[in-house]
Amino acid sequence: MNRTIASPLCGVAVQVNYMSQVDGDDGLTPLWGKRSLNRLPFIVIGDLVRSRHLLRLLVKRDLNARYRRAYLGYAWAVLEPLLLAVVYTFIFTILVGSSDPLYPVKIIIGVIGWSMFARSLTTSTKSLSNSINLFQFARVPKTVFATSGTLTNAVLALISLSCLIPFYFIHDLPVTWHLLLLPVWLMVLSFTGWGIGLLLAPIACKVPDVLNLINFLVRAGFFLSPVMWTYDMFNTRFGDGWHAVVAHMNPTVIPITGMRDAVLGESSGIPGYGYAMCFGIAIIGFILGAMIFERKAHSAVVNV
């Protein structure tokens, strides 16, 4: 049969490669195979590893897009926490009369740590609703989009850590192997924000109020997390009663304190249950997040 096309045709093609194992007698593979709930976290990780090429391109895209037109470029990643620290130090020394010379350093670390968590949480929560047009045409693992924003922010946070370098000379801070914990704690913060974001993303797609709630939480969390205050200040004020248990339920308290300890070469005497709660929330957040995301994200995109 002669195939000719009489009318103008064009559009965007989205290609799908069905990599999964072939089953059935006729060599056909089901598009939506059955997947047990407890395997979903591993499926998420597997998808991310397989899509690392796309992930890298998306991170590159986000980084390029963010600073390409700015004259100062990536310097903004360093300038932002530095300028914030100047403002907060100014306010805090006037209002509270704090005389701690290391206070600006502590604030910079607090700002970097907190924005890492807040940005991971926000970008992964918004990932589904932001790329909804794309998901209606392309069969790509949706977790890749939830993850690329988090990775982009992790790269920026690592760059912004360099604004601490001058303080090493000013305050003659100790350079020890503890410094290696600095990026580790940053990753813990980003992982926790990402996991909770995965959990919220499909809900945010159906109930946009979640996005407003997240915006509020991020603003309130700034004051409820050790950005302007420190673990020490909290301890002297409240001791280790029930207040401390409640404070440890905030998943940013331990990592930010850990980052400060790593830089200043101190130990804040975080109790064992504090670490347990911090890692517990991170891991449970990821497992639940992966399960809910994989079960709900696909249909959430259909019914928008």
What does the binding site for another protein look like in residue numbers (CB under 8 A)?
Answer: 1-18, 22, 24, 26-32, 53-54, 57-58, 61, 64-65, 68-69, 133-140, 298-299, 301-303
- Nearest distance from C-beta of residue 100 to another protein, angstroms: 42
130 versus 250: smaller Cβ distance to another protein: 130
- Nearest distance from C-beta of residue 150 to another protein, angstroms: 18
- Nearest distance from C-beta of residue 67 to another protein, angstroms: 10
67 versus 222: smaller Cβ distance to another protein: 67
Reduce the secondary structure of 67-121 to three states and give it as a string: HCCCCCCCHHHHHHHHHHHHHHHHHHHHHCCCCCCCHHHHHHHHHHHHHHHHHHH
276 versus 304: smaller Cβ distance to another protein: 304
- Nearest distance from C-beta of residue 7 to another protein, angstroms: 4
Residue 263 and residue 241: Cα distance in Å, rounded?
A: 28
137 versus 238: smaller Cβ distance to another protein: 137
134 versus 276: smaller Cβ distance to another protein: 134
- Nearest distance from C-beta of residue 25 to another protein, angstroms: 11
32 versus 177: smaller Cβ distance to another protein: 32
Place of tokens 């310097």: 75
Reduce the secondary structure of 262-288 to three states and give it as a string: HHHCCCCCCCHHHHHHHHHHHHHHHHH
- Nearest distance from C-beta of residue 5 to another protein, angstroms: 5
Nearest to 298 by CA among 16, 31, 13: 31
Q: DSSP assignment of 168-229, as one string?
A: HHHTT----GGGGHHHHHHHHHHHHHHHHHHHHHHHHHH-THHHHHHHHHHHHHHHHTTTSS
Q: Which is it for the CA torsion 103, 79, 224, 177, positive or negative? A: negative
2 versus 236: smaller Cβ distance to another protein: 2
- Nearest distance from C-beta of residue 123 to another protein, angstroms: 15
Give backbone dihedrals phi and psi of 112, rounded to 5 degrees, phi first. -65, -45
Structure tokens at 106: 């502590």
